[in-house]
Amino acid sequence: MEPLIALVVGLTAARLAGLLGAGALAGWQPALRAGLVAMFLLTSIAHFAPALRPDLVDMVPPWMPRAGLLVAVTGLLEAAGAIGLLVPATSRWAAGGLIALMIAVFPANVSAARRHVAQGDPLGPRTLLQILYIAAAAATLVRTPRQRGSASCATRAA
């Protein structure tokens, strides 16, 4: 539930900042990216926090080798993706990479739910949240009319 809270609070705060004049956060997509940054930084930190890391290691399916290393790598990928979302030149690649990462780690959610380990959330809510997070990242990939228009202007100017 904490990642969802971080996403909503980050999105809301960024959208308010955009409405109050922060040009970089004007529009729903930059605000959504900011919410995703907050969420992925939070989840990335959990991969290394001594109080939370054991639960994440337990989520890794037993047949996968080196669970601790996998948790560390996915935590670093989440942090890299969050940082990538902040940079306009890499934000689309970062969003795509984070979508791929969320799909790749979903079997750990299934395994954890079936084995009743880690947070112990049932599979249904885990699945719905994962779909929401993937949809949020995918929404940042959609070209808005303003983005299409500025790309056309840039093409005509060239």
Q: What would the pLDDT profile of 46-59 be if each residue is shown by its tens digit? A: 999 999 999 999 99
**How far from chain centre, in Å, is Cα 144?**
20
Share of the chain above pLDDT 90, in %: 71
Q: CA 142, 107, 126 angle in degrees (round to 5)?
A: 70
From residue 89, how far is each of 14, 38, 59, 93 by CA, in Å? 20, 19, 34, 8
pLDDT at 70: 96
pLDDT tens column, 84-127: 999 989 999 999 999 999 999 999 888 888 888 876 678 898 89
SS3 letters across 35-59? HHHHHHHHHHHHCCCCCCHHHHHHH
* Residue 12: pLDDT over 80: yes
Instruction: Please count the other Cβ atoms lying within 10 Å of the Cβ belonging to residue 26.
Output: 15
pLDDT grade for 157, boundaries at 50, 70 and 90:
very low
For the chain, how are helix, strand and coil distributed in percent, rounded to 5?
A: 75, 0, 25
Q: How much is the pTM?
A: 0.87
